[in-house]
Copies of this chain bind each other. A is one copy, B any other.
């Protein structure tokens, strides 16, 4: 986590566990979704009117098993890259003991109401710039078999 990150506490649910007794990896994507929704609510106000945000890509690296706890996880959010009509949203999920259990990045595309990509609006770009942080420190990359 860096100084530019916003951190959201997200509660786990007993039902997020799968038959292996861990928080299921798909439910971890659900936790990231919730952090993203809360983060966008916090960052964007009227700036978001008239635009739609589309999830075009998502990558999650699972670093450690996440166990169910009544203590919430903390998800640190920042912008990891900014393009012309899309941006990269980065996350780091820490359990209650502070261990990094998963990191993720979501490519978000700005869409018109008609469903076509459109340049990042002038009132949205400064908000993204303000929250620009480090690249997400993925260790593994596809196609490497490592």
Residues of A whose CB lies within 8 Å of any CB of B are 10-11, 13-15, 17-19, 21, 24-26, 29-30, 33-34, 37-38, 41, 54-62, 68, 70, 80-84, 86-88, 105, 107, 135-136, 138, 140, 142-146
Contact = CB atoms under 8 A, between A and B. Distances in A.
Contact of A15 (B33, B57, B82, B136): B33
Given A81-B143, A145-B83, A14 B29 contact: no
A55 to B, nearest CB: 5
Closest 8 CB pairs of A and B: A83-B145, A17-B19, A59-B59, A81-B145, A14-B37, A11-B11, A26-B29, A19-B21
A146 B83 contact: yes
